[in-house]
Amino acid sequence: MADKVVISHWVHREVSDYLRQQGCEVIGNDGLEPWPRSQLLELLGDADAFMAFMPDHVDADLLAHAPKLKVIGCALKGYDNFDVAACSAAGVWLSIVPDALTEPTAELSIALLLGVSRHVLAGDAYIRTGAFRGWRPHFYGCGLADSTIGIIGMGAVGQAIAARLAGFRARLLYSDIEPLSEHTAKSLRVRKVGRRVLAEKSDYIVLAMPLNDGTLHTIDDGFLATVKTGAYLINPCRGSVVDEAAIARALRAGRLAGYAADVYEMEDWARADRPQSIHPDLLANHAQTLLTPHLGSAVDAIRRDIARRAAENIVTGLRGQRPADAVNTPQSQPAAMRSGAGA
Alpha helical stretches, state H, 13-119: 13-21, 37-43, 60-64, 84-89, 102-117
Yes or no: say if 281 and 93 are a contact pair by the CB < 8 Å rule: no
Yes or no: say if 54 and 82 are a contact pair by the CB < 8 Å rule: no
Q: How far apart are CA 119 and CA 258, in angstroms?
A: 10
Catalytic residue among 65, 191, 249, 294: 294
Catalytic site includes residue 57: no
Sign for the CA dihedral angle at 71, 76, 79, 81 comes to negative
DSSP 3-18: PEEEE-S---HHHHHH
Catalytic site includes residue 309: no
Catalytic site includes residue 183: no
* Residue 126 exposure: Cα atoms within 13 Å on the Cβ side: 14
Yes or no: say if 78 and 210 are a contact pair by the CB < 8 Å rule: yes
CA proximity to 7, closest of 27, 33, 32: 27
Q: How far apart are CA 265 and CA 263, in angstroms?
A: 7
Catalytic residue among 265, 267, 279, 312: 267
Mind telling me the catalytic residues? 238, 267, 294
